[in-house]
Amino acid sequence: MISKTYGIKGMHCASCASVIELTLKKVPGVVSIESNYGTETIKVSFDEKKISAEDLSKKIEPLGYSIIIPSKENVYMASPAFAKAMAGDAKKEKLEEIAKQRNLVLSALPLAVISIFIMGWDLLAQFKVAPMPSYAVSEFFHHLLPIMATYMLFVVGKPYLLGFYRFLRYGKANMDSLIGIGTSVAFLYSFILTAFEEPLGRFINVSHTYYDVTIVVITFIALGKYLEVRSKLKTGDAIEKLLNLQAKTALVIRDGKETEISINEVVHGDLIIVKPGAKIPVDGVITEGTSFIDEALVIGEPMPKEKNVGDTVISGTLNTNSTFTFKATKVGSETLLARIVTMVQEAQGSKAPIQALADKISSVFVPIVLVIAFVSLAVWLTVGTYFLGFSQALSYGLTSFVGVLVIACPCALGLATPTAIIVGVGKGAREGILIKDAATLEKLHKVTTVVMDKTGTITRGKPEFAGIKNYSLLRQGSGGQAKLGDAEVISILAGLEKKSEHPIAHAILEYAKEKSIEAADVEKFESVKGKGLKGIVGAIEYFAGNIKLISDLKIKFDAKSIEAETLQGKTPVILATAKEVVAVVMVADTVKPEAVEAIQNLHKLGIKTVMLTGDNANTASAIAKQVGIDQVFAQILPEDKLNKIKELQAGGNLVAMAGDGVNDAPALAQADVGIAMATGTDVAIETAGITLLYGDISKIVKAIRLSRITMRGIKQNLFWAFIYNLVGIPLAAGLFFPLFGWLLNPIFAGLAMAFSSVSVVFNSLRIKVKRI
């Protein structure tokens, strides 16, 4: 059993998507199928032993569609460079199709202008605003219109004729079928009147033909399709922009020489040189040199970040100022950029639950419209003949018949959801918010409670310098040890701690490095097991460690103030001599700088915040108070996190869970929306529906705002699509004619239909410029 996504040729409307789904669902071996008109793709799960993609394509080819199957040598290699080449080919094909449509529209527009001119002159002449055309002019136009209509129907309108033909042969109707039936009937009726003008003139008004309807309707629809395809191309530009981030080549060191190779040839362990102004080709770790890396286009961080030996670099980011060397650790599909591209592609091709209503309507829409069109024609020919006479009733009946078929396009319905999802997911990717599927994006806007893990989500996830209390500077008088400044205290501590592997030691050394404080030279270093360290600096013996170490030295110190700091989740490192405490340095897993503002913004959105942590209650409460969390559950196991999520859901909350560790995975899976920090484990990222690049929790707020904006856009699209059809079809059918004398000319129906789809796409594109 495999599940794959394929492009579809010939998918012109929402009803096309429904026809493809209904046809392929019946094929033995197909387990599930999901078509997406917005991306012109299908996602199909099938048994390779029973059916192949080629066989599936053959099933829909008679209906005018085909599956785009990559050749064996062109199978997607999952590297952004290869994807870029494939995307380039797809875009080239799309641009060729657009150019072809543009040429057809350009050939049709002059004919439509002539036809509208003739109609306008005719109408003005009837109201005596313009003079009646002479006999010669009338005869010229009388013979010109059939020629123009023939070209329009059989050249520009060829797709619609084929749709009509496939409907007659296979019984499968789509939007092309409706247009084909309507314009063909209008043309055929007019042609019969022209060919048998004299014999038919005794029974009906032969001067009233519908060549102009055929010409203008097909022109407007072709123009609308052209504009729609062009604007749809803009909705998916997020993928193209991501692919353009990828470098084409890499400068590697092989056999002691610098060699420039394609990034597809880079392997794990390659040493790669990156010069100023160059893009980083794959993910890796710096082995030599230092530089500032601009990561804005990949992770949304505006300021270049300093990178040193041991730091990670990401493919697609830009080296700004210095040459450095790094070791390739992730290549091809493993790189962060490749994973981002894949996630965005899959999310844009997925369906939101709200789309189900539009899909259901689209699937039954065309048959219903056909019935309405034929019923309206029948009513006009029966009831209308009784009141108006056969000739007038036939004229109105044909107007209604063609008008209903033309105006009833479900394209706007079909585009309402996918176009907004495509733009929304793309905007999220540019903001460092990776959305796994459309369902997640939809659910997010309803979230009432955000649950967060503490370590790595609210806090940085590693010990950091949190403060210093220098008793040396507080002492009065001349007795005791000489006064030491804060920098001197840190220097002594760094000298002692640099020989330790403890995480707290790393925190002090990092702070010293950040402040450019050199570690003091230490003699006779010794580790005191379970308590701390000791060594001689400048002929004085210093001790650095915990409260127990100082107690053993029988030195008086302010234990209560240290305990108060400990209750806030801080760990004390006490520096002392054999006689007195010199200073106390606090180390803690500090709160992320963006955490406080993020919690405040969540509250502004009306969302409750909850912290779940395995840490002790005192530390958890202190952190929660610091950032403004509403509710805290501390000292809980991973399975308890899962149960707490269930409890919140049982209480009527729609829950989003944010975490970064393996222990968060069960809770992330249980939550209505799982949000993973990209700085966390792969398990958490795979489990979650949303990944926040760089572990920035302020992006949770942006993700919720993006969801709300996108859902608002979808609802606006659906509203206008529904209203358009609900009002347009009865108006075209003549329902308002007895009361108000209103009857929709098929030409205006074609114009409205063409621009309804375009308006939906442009409304979706507005999401791009919204601030989140």
Percent of the chain with pLDDT over 90: 26
Residues in contact with 739: Cβ distance below 8 Å, sequence separation at least 6, in sequence order: none
92/761: higher pLDDT: 761
Inform me whether the pLDDT recorded for 35 exceeds 50.
yes
Q: How confident is the model at residue 714 (pLDDT cuts 50, 70, 90)?
A: very high
Inform me whether the pLDDT recorded for 375 exceeds 90.
yes
Q: How confident is the model at residue 501 (pLDDT cuts 50, 70, 90)?
A: low
Q: How confident is the model at residue 663 (pLDDT cuts 50, 70, 90)?
A: low
333/85: higher pLDDT: 333
Average pLDDT over residues 342-371: 75
Give the tens place of pLDDT for each residue, 627-644.
Answer: 999 999 987 876 788 889
Residues carrying an active site annotation:
453
Inform me whether the pLDDT recorded for 81 exceeds 50.
no
Q: How confident is the model at residue 597 (pLDDT cuts 50, 70, 90)?
A: very high
- AA identity, residue 265: E
Give the tens place of pLDDT for each residue, 672-697.
Answer: 999 988 765 566 667 788 988 877 88
Closest CA to 363 of 402, 414, 317: 414
Give the pairing type, strands 608-612 and 449-453.
parallel
Give pLDDT, residue 224.
Answer: 76
Give pLDDT, residue 477.
Answer: 46
Q: Is the Cα torsion angle 682, 683, 689, 695 positive or negative in sign? A: negative
Give the tens place of pLDDT for each residue, 432-442.
Answer: 898 888 888 99
Output the DSSP codes for 430-459.
HTTEEE--HHHHHHHTT--EEEEEIIIIIB
Average pLDDT over residues 216-223: 84
Structural tokens at position 266: 């880079």
Least confident of 19-23, 567-571, 708-712: 567-571
72/289: higher pLDDT: 289
Give pLDDT, residue 329.
Answer: 94
Q: Give the C-alpha separation, 317 to 266, whole Å.
A: 17
Give me the residues paired with residue 42 across strands. 6, 35
Query: Which H or E element spans position 17?
Result: helix 14-25
Inform me whether the pLDDT recorded for 481 exceeds 60.
no
Inform me whether the pLDDT recorded for 72 exceeds 50.
no
Structural tokens at position 763: 């409304």
Give pLDDT, residue 679.
Answer: 66
Give me the residues paired with residue 44 across strands. 4, 33
Give pLDDT, residue 77.
Answer: 39
Q: Give the C-alpha separation, 39 to 194, whole Å.
A: 44
Furthest C-alpha separation in the chain = 130
Give pLDDT, residue 128.
Answer: 76
Q: Give the C-alpha separation, 402 to 663, whole Å.
A: 63
Q: How confident is the model at residue 87 (pLDDT cuts 50, 70, 90)?
A: low
Closest CA to 439 of 354, 501, 312: 354
Inform me whether the pLDDT recorded for 412 exceeds 80.
no
Instruction: Return the top range by mean pLDDT from 30-44, 437-451, 579-593.
Output: 437-451
Inform me whether the pLDDT recorded for 725 exceeds 90.
no
334/424: higher pLDDT: 424
Inform me whether the pLDDT recorded for 449 exceeds 90.
yes
Instruction: Return the top range by mean pLDDT from 588-592, 650-654, 756-760.
Output: 650-654
CA atoms within 13 A on the CB side of 617: 1
Q: How confident is the model at residue 76 (pLDDT cuts 50, 70, 90)?
A: very low
Q: Give the C-alpha separation, 667 to 676, whole Å.
A: 11
Q: Give the C-alpha separation, 210 to 34, whole Å.
A: 40
600/476: higher pLDDT: 600
Least confident of 4-13, 321-330, 393-402, 728-737: 4-13
Average pLDDT over residues 447-457: 89
Average pLDDT over residues 438-447: 91
Percent of the chain with pLDDT over 70: 90
**Contact indicator for 582, 472 with CB cutoff of 8 Å:** yes
Average pLDDT over residues 624-629: 92
3-state SS, 488-544, equals HHHHHHHHHHCCCCCHHHHHHHHHHHHCCCCCCCCEEEEEECCCEEEEEECCEEEEE
Inform me whether the pLDDT recorded for 364 exceeds 80.
no
Q: Give the C-alpha separation, 375 to 387, whole Å.
A: 18
Q: How confident is the model at residue 661 (pLDDT cuts 50, 70, 90)?
A: low
Inform me whether the pLDDT recorded for 75 exceeds 50.
no
Give pLDDT, residue 444.
Answer: 94
Give the tens place of pLDDT for each residue, 127-140.
Answer: 777 788 888 888 88
Q: What is the rounded average pLDDT for all residues in the chain?
A: 83
Give the tens place of pLDDT for each residue, 543-564.
Answer: 998 888 888 888 888 778 888 7
Output the DSSP codes for 696-708.
-THHHHHHHHHHH
**Block residue for tokens 């690049």:** 693
- Counted residue by residue, the chain has a size of 772
Average pLDDT over residues 385-413: 84
Inform me whether the pLDDT recorded for 490 exceeds 90.
yes
Q: What is the CA radius of gyration of the chain?
A: 36
Inform me whether the pLDDT recorded for 721 exceeds 90.
no
Give pLDDT, residue 474.
Answer: 66
Average pLDDT over residues 260-266: 90
